[in-house]
Amino acid sequence: MAETTETTGLTPDERDVIARLAGRGEQTLSRLAELPGGARALNAMNDLRSRVDELGKKVRGIDELEQRVAALEAELAELRQSQGPAEPA
């Protein structure tokens, strides 16, 4: 079995493959930028990436909001029980 490094957990062969893929990705992006309209496409991808990041942050906050709503609902139910039955209007 090949040895892995402690920091990455990857074998030297795996690191080589990842480095090659990263290099190819950089080459592809530079070629895309050189194409007509390529710069616009790259800008659109970057905008999409930042919007997805923002959306991810908002979605992570939903769990906290759900917990707060559940606590408020429990508190409201407790208050209703302590007041007794409501009189008809």
User: Quick check: 33 and 40 in contact, CB under 8 A?
Assistant: no
User: Quick check: 74 and 66 in contact, CB under 8 A?
Assistant: no
**How far apart are the C-alpha atoms of 74 and 59, rounded to whole Å?**
24
DSSP codes joined into one string, 22-63? HHHHHHHHHHHHHSTTHHHHHHHHHHHHHHHHHHHHHHHHHH
Q: Mind listing the pLDDT tens digit for each residue in 26-82?
A: 787 777 778 788 788 888 888 999 999 999 989 988 989 999 999 999 999 999 999
Single pTM value for the model: 0.43
